[in-house]
């Protein structure tokens, strides 16, 4: 663990680095993790956005518009919600939000998720976002507005079908990278053991988000990991592993 902390942060071992921080600092390590904290922040922001949208829905008005035919012959609640989506919010995005939430956030979802929804893999989605936006002063501006890119940005902002917080395979991939550095004869720890150790380190810790709301992580009865988020101070419990 000490060796992991000596490596530069540009090395592709973000999960193991967070594990090392947690394992070597049981008191304040949860305040110093970075990669997993950003993933939890993104999930919290998606929950917050959904909570806000649900709070703004006028179901009586939706029923009235559907009954009067304003939503079309197949008018329903989904049509009503879609008609009120503000896609203009994706025309200009603050740099920090664009880079950490949207670009990095593509990794929160699996290839199968993107293929099912857009017939594209994660790398292709990432490339599509990069090609569709140009960087201005402290902002990214949409230069190629299409239904596909707007749908992708909307999905990244609201979808709760994210992949697990981390996997054994991801940890093993980082271990393989370290083995290439240390040499083929170097004995490495087992990925599954580190996976379980990380769950143990995350059990019963609190993550504070930018709005000061607190997410409580806890080990599930089945040995996985869950978290209770509080967007709008309303509890949402999500399975993370």
pLDDT digits over 44-75, tens only?
999 999 888 777 766 666 566 656 655 554 45
Give pLDDT, residue 55. 72
DSSP secondary structure letter of residue 102: I
Task: State the CB neighbour count (10 A cutoff) for residue 9.
Answer: 9
Q: Is the pLDDT of residue 88 over 80?
A: yes
pLDDT, tens digit, 9 for 90 and up, residues 184-214 = 778 889 999 999 999 999 999 999 999 999 9
The answer to whether residue 94 is domain-embedded is: yes
Number of domains in the chain: 2
The pLDDT of residue 3 is 86
Measured on CA atoms in the order 231, 237, 238, 241, is the torsion positive or negative? Answer: positive
What integer pLDDT is reported at residue 99 of this predicted model? 95
In this structure, the answer to whether residues 91 and 178 fall within a common structural domain is no
Among 158, 184, 209, identify where a domain stops.
Answer: 158
Q: Is the pLDDT of residue 25 over 60?
A: yes
Q: Specify if 228 maps to a domain.
A: yes
For residues 109 and 78, which has the higher predicted lDDT (pLDDT)? 109
- Distances, alpha carbon 151 to alpha carbons 121, 125, 154, 167, in Å: 15, 11, 5, 27
SS3 content of the chain, % helix, strand, coil (to 5): 55, 10, 30
Give the separation between CA 124 and CA 35, rounded to whole angstroms. Answer: 22
Rounded to whole angstroms, the maximal C-alpha distance in the chain is: 73
> Going along the chain, which residue ranges are E strands?
92-94, 133-136, 139-142, 206-208, 214-219, 225-229, 236-239
| Domain boundaries, position 144 | 56-158
Query: Same domain for 17 and 82?
Result: no
The model's pLDDT over 93-150, given as tens digits with 9 standing for 90+, comes to 999 999 999 999 999 999 999 999 999 999 999 999 999 999 988 999 999 899 999 9
């Amino acid at each position: 663990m000490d060796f992991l902390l000596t490596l530069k942060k540009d090395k592709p071992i973000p999960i193991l680095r967070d594990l090392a921080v947690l394992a070597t600092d049981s008191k304040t390590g949860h305040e110093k993790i970075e990669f997993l904290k950003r993933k939890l922040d993104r999930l919290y922001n998606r929950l917050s956005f959904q909570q806000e949208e649900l709070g703004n829905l006028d179901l009586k008005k939706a029923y009235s518009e559907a009954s009067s035919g304003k939503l079309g012959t197949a008018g329903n609640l989904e049509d009503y919600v879609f008609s009120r989506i503000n896609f203009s919010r994706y025309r200009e995005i603050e740099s920090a939000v664009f880079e950490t939430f949207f670009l990095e956030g593509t990794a929160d979802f699996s290839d199968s998720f993107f293929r099912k929804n857009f017939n594209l893999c994660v790398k292709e989605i990432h490339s599509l976002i990069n090609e569709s936006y140009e960087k201005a002063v402290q902002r990214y501006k949409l230069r190629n507005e299409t239904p596909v890119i707007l749908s992708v940005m909307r999905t990244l902002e609201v979808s709760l079908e994210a992949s697990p917080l981390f996997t054994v395979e991801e940890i093993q991939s980082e271990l393989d990278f370290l083995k290439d550095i240390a040499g083929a004869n170097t004995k490495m720890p087992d990925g599954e053991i580190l996976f379980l150790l990380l769950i143990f380190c995350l059990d019963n810790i609190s993550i504070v988000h930018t709005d000061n709301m607190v997410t409580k992580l806890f080990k599930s009865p089945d040995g996985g990991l869950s978290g209770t988020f509080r967007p709008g101070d309303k509890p949402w419990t999500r399975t993370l592993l």
